[in-house]
Each structure stands twice: as C-alpha cells, then as structure tokens.
Amino acid sequence: MSTLLWVLLLLLLVYSILPTILIRLFGIGVYKKGRGGNGIALTFDDGPDPEYTPQLLDLLKKHQVKATFFVLGSKAEQHPELIRRIHLEGHLIGVHNYVHWANAFLPPRKVRAQLNSSIAVIEKITGETPIFYRPPWGIFNLFDFLLMKRFRVVLWSLMVGDWRSSGGKERIIKKLLAKLSSNDIIVLHDSGQTFGADEDAPVHMLEALADFLDICKRRGFTFLRIDTYTQIDELAKRQPASWVKKGLIQVWLRWDRLFHWWFNIRPIDLHHPIFYSRVCKYKGKPLQLDNGEEIRSGDLVLELHFNNERLFHMMAESNSMVQLAVHMIREVQRFLPVLTAYLYMHREVRGVYGVTMIHRGSRQLGFTVEQLPEGLFKKASQLYLRLLLYVFHPNGRERLEASKSQLSPRIVAISVQELMKRYPVEPSMTAAETRSFAVQG
C-alpha cells in the first residue's frame, strides 16, 4: 500500500472515524434517548418527498401524533408547501444538511455552508430558526464538536432499516416491536431517493407505521416532538435530589431486579412492562368480591406488581397523589385488555390481585378494594410502600407528611371472569402483540 494511501486513511481516521465512534458509543454532545416519562419520539429523515410525505402527514394527523422531521435544505427549497404543512400541523422541523452528503467527506466550511443554506430556506418558509440537527448517516467529523454549541444534535436509539424494501412491512413492524422501549427515539425515512435506499421503501414504512401507531396507542405510549422530550429531561435534571437519594433509587431498582429474578416475577408484556406478575397460590382470609365471587386460600391467582421504574417516572411528573392516581388509572385502563389476553393462556387462574396505596378509582374499573387485615403483613406493607414513596418521589418527605391519611395500603382484586367480561380481547390485537408475552406461559 502506497504512503499516500496510508496518509489518507490516517487522516480519515482522525477526521471522521474516531469522532463518529466517540459520539455514537458514548453520546458525547448528542441526544440519543429520552430519560423521563413514557414517550416515544418519531423522527423522519431525508424528506420532504412530494409522494410520501403527504401520506405520512395524513397518517400522523389521523392518529393525532406529533413528530420531528430532519429535512434536506435542497428538498425543502423544491417543496416549500410541504415544509409549510409540516410546520402548520404542529411538527418540529430540524436540519439534515442541504444535500445528503456525509460529513466525513466535507470540510468544515462546506458543512457550515450546508447548514446555513438549509436554515435560510426553512426560516423563509416557516419564520422559525431550526436548532435541531442530525447529520446524514449519523457520521461526524472532528470539527462537528464545534457545532454542538449552536445546535442540539439528535441521533436515535432505534433504527429498523426501513430504507430497504426487502421483507416489506412485516420486517419493519417486527423489528420495531422487538426493540421498542419507553423513551426511544425512532428514526424512519419518508424518502427513498438517497444513496443506498430503495425508491419504494417508504411504501412499506408507511404500512408498518400505521399498524405500529395502533399498537402503541393500545399500549399507552405517547408521541413527543424532540423539543418536548428535551424540555422534560431538563426539568427532571432541575428537580431537587441529593446524591444520597439518587443512590437509594439506584439501589432500590437493582433490588427490584433481584427480587423479580428470585421469585420468578416477569412482565406481562415484554415490550411494554407496566406490570410484573407471577402465578401463585393465594394465602390469606377469603376475599369476597363485589360481583359475588370469592377467592379462597389455595386458589391460583395472578399477583400483580407495578413496574417501580415506571412508577418512579410517573411520580416525578405528578404534582399530587391525586394526579399520580389519575395517571395510573389511565395506564391500567390501556393495559387490562392485554391482561385478559394473557389470562386466556392461564385458564387455571381464578383471580388477579395486588397490594397498593394508590387505589383511587379502582372500583370504577371493576376491582374490589379491601382493607388489609390487621397484623404484621399490613404494618410491613405500609412501611414498604411509604418508603417507596419517600425514595422515588422528588418531594417524598413532603408527600408523606401531606398525605398520611391517604397512604393506607389496600388489597385490590378482580376475578378472571369479571375481567374477561369487562375487558374482552380486542379483535384488532395482532399476532405480534400476543407473541410479546406468550413466551412466558
């Protein structure tokens, strides 16, 4: 290999390969995934496209979903009406260079010129200056670190290869559901005209996205623009929490994982674990349910445990115990048809029960709410749940003082028969959703 070629490879290594590796692996100066809430950020690259972007906007409007579009300045210039529509329909517009060239092959001056041209086009159309930037292919050069003072650079946590047509929509939806988790930033593409892409690939992306949005709605996910995501995370950073409390939270979450492993407690829905559960024998006094049924000692029940990591985020976002209860009720309402489907695979189970302090609204959902019998278990449960509130809530001490009368743990239970009557399995539930928890049974 000639000396010149070695020099060129070394320059490429220093100029682009090492900066890209550092940024992609360690997230230096970029935004890759949200940290708070239960949202998903949908982002779309390479547009606007006169054929596929209008279809995408119609689909997002139908589902009342807001997204983020990283557009090419050259295409924005060719299709100002699409940029105007994206903006007017409440979506966020970011920059994806003027043309789809990798920063590895551009000098710093050319990268700045591409960004300035794109910003000028978008400003002229919308009247607003974009501050979010995603370089093509997520490739950086050494001087892009300087851009991080001017832009919020956004990458992704979930990519599914939707720029290829092979496998159709089934491949895309399968990858989305297999890898999806709360706070993901998903990258999709509303154009197939860039290097390496199939021209008809957006057809399959749109078909998969339609199914995906239906599934996410049932699972209780919300969709956020990138700027909303970053605002939530900045707010979370400002919330008062000592290093001791942060340490306690981490210790508690690790204990949770150990507890779940030891007692074989698993999520109902592997891709959206709102609740964890185990099938076990009920031990205690007979539970007389509101529908006339009874759960007796020795009956098989599904014991529910709320996902404490999700609870932590919900507490951080709630201003009061009442607001927290409302959030939990909404989550439970979305979850119950999934629980019904799960119990069809466990016909031997007689009822579902758990112990919680946040039981407001449970009766309206069909659950029986009972006092815990006096004794050691009640005292231990009360101590555990109050400690949980103190550790997880940003203002836990104040909440405990203000809500002592409300913080009494209750048994919450429902029979399987009543659950199936009130929350039948939705006909539109897909096979992919069923497979997401079938491996447990």
Rg (CA), the chain: 25
| E-only strand ranges, 64-223 | 68-71, 92-95, 132-133, 152-154, 158-159, 185-189, 222-223
Tokens at 441, concatenated: 């049974």
Burial 415-426 (b: 16+ CB within 10 A, else e): bbebbbeebebe
Tokens at 189, concatenated: 């593409």
Write down the catalytic residue from 45, 46, 49, 184.
45
Burial of 397 (0-12, 13-18, 19+ CB in 10 A): exposed
Write down the catalytic residue from 91, 96, 189, 359.
189
How far is it, in rounded angstroms, from Cα 273 to Cα 342? 13
Q: What are the φ/ψ torsions at residue 411 (nearest 5 degrees)? A: -85, 130
List, in sequence order, the alpha helices (H) in 200-292.
Answer: 201-219, 226-238, 243-262
- DSSP per-residue codes, 98-113: SSS--GGGS-HHHHHH
| E-only strand ranges, 289-357 | 294-295, 300-306, 351-356
| Max Cα–Cα distance, the chain, nearest Å | 86
User: Is 190 an active-site residue?
Assistant: no
Tokens at 419, concatenated: 């659950």
Dihedral sign, Cα of residue 262, residue 268, residue 273, residue 274: negative
User: Is 79 an active-site residue?
Assistant: no
**Euclidean distance between the first and the last CA atom of the chain, given in angstroms as a whole number:** 58
**In sequence order, what are the residues at sequence separation of 6 or more whose Cβ sits closer than 8 angstroms to the Cβ of residue 33?**
157, 183, 184, 185
Do residues 150 and 169 make contact, with C-beta atoms less than 8 angstroms apart?
no
Distances (CA, A) of 313 to 37, 236, 245, 387, 392: 6, 9, 15, 16, 8
Known catalytic residues are 45, 189
